[in-house]
Structures are given as structure tokens and as C-alpha cells.
Amino acid sequence: MASKFGRREQCMDNAQNERIVKTPDVCGGKTRIAGHRVRVLDIVIWHEHQGMTPDEIVAHIPSITLADVHTALAYYFEHLDEIQEEMRAERALEEKMRPQHPSPVKEKLRQEHVEEAS
């Protein structure tokens, strides 16, 4: 299926999941909502880990629909291993990059703490 940007997108599973695609050069090839850069794992994190309701997710990202959110969640529950592996890979990348890119806020707080102690 060609997207509005001319890329070939691989639709996942069935007609219901035409909203969920994987494109190698978009979002690192992760599953996402078609026509958007909103990954299924983002929806899952907001809903399952941060407690956001589908309505709150749509309010947070108004370019997606309530149907998109529910489709992404349904895809997650049908493909738990796949999405959880994407989440593990993302966490591993964050852990690898964290020492190379320290938080400026943490550094400033550390400096303030050192100055107060002097």
C-alpha cells in the first residue's frame, strides 16, 4: 500500500489493522499508526504505563482518532511479544545513550548542590 508520502507501507494482518503499518525508513521500522509517526508502543506506554485513557491520548495527539488508539491497543494485545520486544530494544538504546548524553538539569542540580556545600 502506498502512503500519501509515496512510501510503501506494509499493512499488518487484516482490514481492521490497515491503520497499523510498518515502514522500514519511518520510526525505525516500528509498528505505527498509518499516516502518522505515532508508534503502537507509544500508545501502549501512555495507556498501560502512564494510565492515560484513549480520550486523553487523542487530546494529547489530536491528529489521531479514537479508533486509531483502540486499533493500536488491539494490535498490541494481539502481538504482545512483538511490541514488548520493541519496548525492550528502546530501553536498551536509552540505557546505552544515557552516559553519552547526560541530563543538563541533573548537571545543574549537581553543581548547585556542590556550591551550597562549599
Q: Helix/strand/coil (H, E, C) string of 79-104? A: CHHHHHHHHHHHHHHHHHHHHHCCCH
The per-residue pLDDT for 1 is: 47
pLDDT tens for each residue of 19-75:
899 989 899 889 999 999 999 999 999 999 999 999 999 999 999 999 999 999 999
Contacts of 41 (CB under 8 A, 6+ apart): 30, 31, 76, 83, 86, 87, 90
Residue 44: domain span: 10-117
When divided into structural domains, the chain yields a total of 1
Q: Are 12 and 75 in contact (CB under 8 A)?
A: yes
The per-residue pLDDT for 15 is: 47
The answer to whether residue 5 is domain-embedded is no
Number of other residues whose CB lies within 10 A of the CB of residue 84: 13
Question: CATH code at 30?
Answer: 1.10.10.10
Q: Please check the confidence at residue 116 and state whether its pLDDT lies above 90.
A: no
Q: Please check the confidence at residue 111 and state whether its pLDDT lies above 90.
A: no
Q: Which residue has the higher pLDDT, 79 or 18?
A: 79
CA 9 to chain centre: 18
Instruction: Give the integer Cα–Cα distance in Å for 20 and 34.
Output: 5
Grouping H, G, I as helix, E, B as strand and the rest as coil, residue 37 is coil
pLDDT tens for each residue of 74-106:
999 999 999 999 999 989 988 888 888 878 887
The answer to whether residue 49 is domain-embedded is yes
The answer to whether residue 23 is domain-embedded is yes
